[in-house]
Structure 1
Amino acid sequence: MNHLATIFRCTILVFFLQYLLTTFDHRFIPLGELTVEPASPVLLGSSLTIYCSIQKFQHLNEWFDILLELNGETVNKWNRVNQTTMTFTVPSVRRPKSTALCKLKTDRWPQVVGELQIQAGLPPDRPKNIICLTTRSSEAVNCSWSKGQQTHITTYYNVTISRSNWTQVHSDVIQDSGEVSIGKGLLDVNTTYMLTITGYNQLGESAQSDPFPFCLQDIVIPETPKITRVEFERDSTAVMLLWKTAEFSEDLRPYIRLRTHNETWLDAEGVGIHQNLTEVENIRPLTEYEFQLKTCMITLFVKHIYTTSCTNRTNTSEMCVCSRWSSSEWKTSPGKGPSQQLDVWRTFSGTGTNGRKEVTVLWKPLPAEAYSGELQLYKISWTTEQNQEVSCSPAVLQCSLQLSAEVQALNISAVTSCGMSPPVKLSLRLSGVTAPALGDLTSAGNDDTILVSWSQLENKQQSELLYYVIEWISQPDARLQWKKLDKDLQNTSITGLTVGVRYKVYLYAVTTGGVSNPSSRLVYSNEKKPVSGPSVSVLVHVERRMQIQWDELPLEERRGFITHYTIYFHTLGSSSTEAKVSVPESGQRKMWLDCPGGTLVLQMTASNSAGEGPPGKRISSQPATSPDLVIVLVFIITVFIAIIANLMCCSCVRKRIKQSCMSWGPSWLVENMPKLGHSKAIQLLKLESEPLYTSIQYDPPLSPITVISQDESDQVYPMIQIDVSQTESGGPTAGEPSVGSDTWPPFDSQQNHCSYKPQNATLAHQEGLKNSSTNADGLIGQSNIVEDFIDFPAGLSCDFHREPVCAEGSKENVLGDRVIQERRLFEEEEESALNTVETRTTNTMETLDVSGIALNGGYFPQVTFPVSKH
């Protein structure tokens, strides 16, 4: 598919090129001719008429549309003569050579009828400034003249030489030239001749020139010299020309002219070194020059035809006869090496390793006109036990060195492709002399310039002053600038400063004994308002008096020398006028301030000569409490805490507090609740397993049983009656329990939740438990225990299967301290005997129906009372 597309494109291109070639051939086949009146050449600026006629077309009886182009521009002024001929009028011919092209308009493309070249020109001017010269060795006399304006067509000059009686001696025709040579054999030495010239061409003839009279001995000039060698010396700023001539040259004086790139000739003042050797100064480096030289001699023969004033001599009355200019010599001057020393300076950065001093050498770049070629490097050299040197890149203007203490001077040079600058010596030694004191530094009217002045140097060491160096360093960025000053100066200007930036100015005096200690001043070229205000803080604030402190503004935010600060303050929420206090800048940034009472709002501004800056951060402060009152409050609180701490150390006080908490607070506050996490039943339920026959599952241990008297029981355990409603089966009431029955009387159907489920048993089972306990390793046995059943208070119930929620009718259930203490004493003993008791209790509970039993409380300890004999 791609090949077919390529073939198709090539076919289209071939047909298109064939069409273009066919059209091109038809276009440039002449169909007629062009004629012009007047005939060429024509006078420049004159009008002419061009005829265009069609002669080679198929249908000559048709009317043709013809146009004419002259130098690419269509001629609009035309006239139709007949069907095949038209005339075109050109009002003015402005070019020496023009092209006229006649075209026939067709449907496809304009076709060329004919083409004609038209020549235009001017008649010659009258020849002027005729001069004829010859030399002693020449065989001909060379005459030249000024032709005037250019004619643009072939012009002939008729040269005629006649004697003074107008007898013609020689005639010659010269074509398009302004010079002619006449052999000396045709002329007599002492005869005066007249030379006339006439010019002519197809457009006209010039007037005859004025006759030029000459005698052969009056037109002799020195021989034309020849430059034999051109040499550049003194770093290409001077050129030496060596020349020669065919005649004795002792009386000849050379004159030289030069130019570059066909520019105007410049006459150069030549200095004769010796015979035939001339020096020309002020030559630019790396420039191609064209040199010409001529020789002149002083003549007293004023009537000499070719005499000129010796303009480069002091005596202007002298006239010189000079030779023609020699043929040109071209020479390119070499590069110019730097001839002046660098301006150098140094700064010390401290002491480096091994006690060596760190020195930074600074230099100014050489001006571009001081050298030519390429700057290659800067060379720093010094002498200790041997010569050492360091090369620095040409792109930098400083170089850091570590030098030993014995090095007292450095030599710095710039190296270019055309040479090296003379080395300059930089002293590293301190003279101990103090530099002149700097005067007032004032602005020069510009924002970037200041004027610096200083007094005369007092040199007590009688060392010679070499020069001054002035430094200025911007702060805080510490950018160093400097310049070297002449020793006779006592003032200078510093330019390129930035408004609102502080500078520190140093002045050094460099003498033959070393460098002096500097004198310095701080200065702004022009000040601006501060950028911000100081941050203020309150140190002490008492009623109607406060001590404040503020921070110093950063240097870049001052933008001038701070003259004073202004403190603004007012009472918070007050509509009174804001008060202000002005504080002069004295370096101390702390003060006491008298102020109104209450909470104060204050802020601060800084001012310089340019004005007051914006305020700083606003803060608020309220007066502090009196220190005497604070001390009293702290003392009272400390005494109270000490008393409470002492009381807490007394056991009786702790007991009273505990009893008060028990009587005032809820019952659960002092109860020792069992921990459900210790229940074996719960653990087995979580593990979903049955107890082994050898394992003994038991509830929390029973509390110890204590025998108390009837009087004590009335105080500790008041008699509580339990009203139990009759069950559906008609069982006995709570007041008439059946001791021998195997089932527990049913409780009220209203039950509350209780998390603890005690092992409930009938009285008979309790008696059995008593007997078993009596025989259980003497744990509870050996005691004369008469047990009785503890009645549940009326309205107090607990559901063994739900969480404990006590009913509203519950009464006080508080155990005495004695029972609680004794219970704690027997808990450890119960743990050891619990296995035996738990086994029998479990067997007894298997026959009990406790689904309806409920307790209105948490845990009730097992307590027995003596049974009265009835």
Structure 2
Amino acid sequence: MQKDWRILLLEEILFLFLASGEQACRITIDSPVIRLGSPLLASCSSNCPQIGRGTVVWKLDNNFLAEDQYRNIQENTSSVYFSSFNKTSGLLQCYVNSKEGFYLMDQIHIRAGYPPSPPSNLSCLLKPSNNFVTCTWLSGEDSSLTTDVTLSGSRSVEQCVIPAKTDFDYNPIKGQNFFNIPRSSYHFSKRLTVWVTVKNEFGSATSGPVCFIPREEVKLDPIVISETKATTTGCIKLQWTYGKASFVKDLKCQLRYRNEFQTEWAKPMKRENANAKHLWYIVNHLLQKDISLCHTTDLNCTFLLPHGINRAFIWAQNTAGASPVKEINFFATKGNPVSRMYASPNNDYSIRVEWEPQVHATAYVLEWCKSAQLPKCEFNWKTEFSGSNTSILQENIEPYQMYTVTLYPVYMENIGTPVQTNVYSKEAAPAFSPELKLDSVNKSQAEVHWEPIPLEKRNGFITNYTIFWIDTHGKEEFSTVNGSVTRFKIKNIVPFTTYQVFLRSSTAGGSVNGTILTVYTTFPDNTFLLLVLSLFLFLVIILVFIICIMKHKRMKNHLWPTVPDPAKSQMGKWTSFMEEMPRVMDNPPDVSQFLTSDICIVEGWQGKKPLTQCQETPLKDTDERNNWRSYVNTDTVQYAQVITGGYREQSPPTSVYGRSDSTQPLLCDMSPSPQNYENMWFHSHHQEDNVFLVEEEKNVMDYPLLHALQIHEKGESVNLFN
């Protein structure tokens, strides 16, 4: 797994603190060798006594990096971060930009690559001419790093496994995929196990072992043709000698030829090289050419063999005539099969087939065709005689295609049960990787499946599938499954998270990535509903807050209304009301315009006066009795029309109070008298008929609002305090 960049940054900071006492002036990095595409963090300190202070800048391969790619950790220290280092190599340099110019403080060469891939197709053959066992193999994917190759072997292994101890280790020349094991390292007739190991900075990988007996795996030297001579019958006579192979007996040769200007060698004659353009084949159980079981231009046919017939005849035909007849014998497949058959690439256009010979077999028949075309494919076939255990298949062999090879041992009276195997002459990465499809997903796991790659698009044996899943923070995880698996369950993933999932398909010839599937994990239990409600509440709070900000004045007036301060009131300075002398109306036309009530005269009264003690108090003199009317308590109470002065030249409202049917006295009740700072009524220290306790003259003057209070009677206004 790749390190998180924050962990890398913390490591760099700790290292810088430790190195600060040594006046470090160099680049610090976790490792100069990293995996290609992984994050990289490097730090550089300009705390150098020989270099002045200045700004730290970075350079990668002679190009200055953008300022937003690095930052200062502390004074005179800078770090640079690559979220994905995609260069196989690069020179990272750290400069300090001072007044004198740019000074190089340190530089480091960074290399990036991948872990090594195991070699494949390991095979070994003995060369009798020099007694070398030559082993060849195919290298894995290029890791972009220096890779060491070691060929190892052991002579004392009973089973074909890699032992803990080796008998020899050889290092081939760099770039070579073969090595010659000398005669001193193996026993001529004893079992030998060989394997190849590759290693780089990220680790090592080992091929599968190959086990064989050297004398049974022989690659003969080429035959030397000593003489060629044309005969009078239109044929060519050849004479040749074998190479050095004294221990090999019963050698058989296969003659191949080609025209001077052709590049391919001739096995049977190809159709295009036939003696006529129109060529067909006839199969019959008798030699009578006018009756046939099969008549076709293809290279195969199916027919019903008549009862009791166990042989047939085949010949080729064109407009010029017929070819010689070939007899075909049909046997029941009741014999024993070969005990082992192994097919491997010989080169890009041929396949090598090996098997364990049967003692009583008189011949071996091999069939092969493209696996993707089965069962309706054109079979190619070849016969090997008794004693053979190896054959090279070359007809219609193409790279990147799977072939099914079938081997039949032929006995005197029957045919052995066939043995089949599949093989490629050369492998490559698949044409594409399957598309992932989501089956199910919940809070902690997701299940995906995919369809197998069609045979004609695989380009090799699918060795494995690798499923990758990456979250929104770039954290990558993966799991590798067998090539036969088509379903996988991703476990232990985080709820309510988006993942990108893709599939990598691998063969011995390479790998290819598929398309990305986006997976959304669900909420755990009722968390989704809770989150939605929380989000809704949060939005409501934000909306209310915005409204309050936009309408703050109106909200303030509603919630915290402004209360005037009487001490700062300017009403006492209003001359329009203070200079006007109040007059009391005589003979009012409507008694409803007067305020009538029982008036109690209170002088220096500190407590509450009982209701029975309320009496009508005579006025001081006759003039006052004429001007002021003694009010008595009646069954109905009339309220006067009260006019207050306007505020700051505004028109004052007129309040008209209607009649009340209450028979209760207005003033002489059981309620306590108001304090001197409460509810002032017609209040004047010049009048004896008042309903408020007047302790000092200054109490009335403290309330200028009462000076504007007037009684309106018969079109005239009366002010009680003037």
Structure of greater relative contact order (alpha carbons < 8 Å, 6+ residues apart): 2
TM-score by structure 2 length? Answer: 0.32
TM-score by structure 1 length? Answer: 0.27
